[in-house]
Structures are given as C-alpha cells and as structure tokens.
C-alpha cells in the first residue's frame, strides 16, 4: 500500500477510531456505568472504575482494563496517523475491532442485567451512566472505523 494512500484515504478512519476510542477509554476510567438511589432509607451506589475505592475491586478492575484497552486502541490509531510505516499488523487492528464490538455487546448485556436487578430491588431511582453510553456508542463507532480502515488495507 502506498504511503500517499494511507495518509489520504485511510487517515480519516484512523482519526475517527482515535477520537472514539480515546473518549470511550476516558469515560470508562472516569465515570460510572450505572447507579441507583433510594430516598427512604437513603441508600445509593454505582458501578464503575472507581468502585475500586468502595471495595468492589474485581468489577472496578474490569472497568479500568477496558478503559486502558480503549486508550491503547487510541494509541495504535495515533501511531498509524503519525508514521504510516509503523502501522501495526493487521492482526492487531482486527483484534482491536473485535474487542470494540464485544464491549458494545457487553454494554448492552450489562445494561439489561442492571435494569432487571434494579427493577427487582425496589429502588426509587436508577440510571445508566456515561460509561454505558461510551461503551455502546464508542464501541460501535470504533469497531466501524477500524473495519473501514481494514477494508482499505484489503482493497490494495
């Protein structure tokens, strides 16, 4: 594949993957996936990466891993934009695309499980947070941009 084609045609796909994966990674690291509140008695909680501070180490570590993985995808996209000669192997890009799609699917499954659990728990208020929407939308968009970039590699 010529260097000019990578810089021109495929760069927009890598920019899209960079932006979407960076935002998704930050959302997984800094915001909650879901939360709940009860007015009487006052009980509240949330699910997210900062559950590490509340004693939910396993769940919190999963969110940290997902956030760091999306930041890794952003770094791969940045490398592809900065120096096209150092584009990671096709296998790494394919794995990143599959990972992003799997996280989108797991976000939907996690939301369904959370909603069912909250409906059964009789809380007054519950919500899906920014990390859920980041996982769903960011996972789909990152996978789509990486898919289009991979199609560009195969076209040559």
pLDDT tens for residues 52-86?
555 556 667 888 899 999 999 999 999 888 876 77
Mean pLDDT (whole number) for 140-147: 96
Q: pTM of the entire structure? A: 0.86
Per-residue pLDDT tens for 18-41? 999 999 999 999 888 888 888 877
Mean pLDDT (whole number) for 130-154: 92
For residues 156 and 92, the model is more confident at 92
CATH T-level assignment (fold) for domain 3-155: Butyryl-CoA Dehydrogenase, subunit A; domain 3 (1.20.140)
Q: At what angle do helices 57-82 and 90-121 cross, to 10 degrees?
A: 150
What letter does residue 40 receive in the DSSP assignment? Answer: T
Distance of CA 145 to CAs 21, 24, 55, 97, Å?
10, 14, 36, 8
């Amino acid at each position: 594949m010529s260097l000019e084609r990578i810089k021109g045609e495929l760069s927009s796909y890598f920019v899209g993957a960079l932006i979407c994966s960076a935002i998704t990674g930050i959302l997984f690291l800094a915001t909650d996936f879901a939360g709940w509140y009860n007015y009487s008695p006052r009980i509240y909680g949330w699910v997210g990466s900062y559950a590490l501070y509340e004693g939910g180490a396993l769940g919190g570590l999963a969110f940290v891993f997902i956030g760091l993985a999306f930041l890794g995808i952003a770094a791969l996209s940045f490398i592809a934009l900065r120096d096209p000669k150092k584009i990671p192997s096709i296998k790494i890009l394919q794995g990143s695309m599959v990972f992003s799609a799997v996280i989108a699917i797991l976000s939907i499954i996690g939301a369904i499980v959370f909603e069912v659990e909250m409906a059964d728990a009789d809380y007054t208020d519950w919500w899906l947070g920014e990390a859920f929407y980041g996982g769903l939308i960011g996972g789909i968009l990152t996978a789509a941009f990486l898919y289009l970039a991979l199609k560009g590699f195969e076209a040559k």
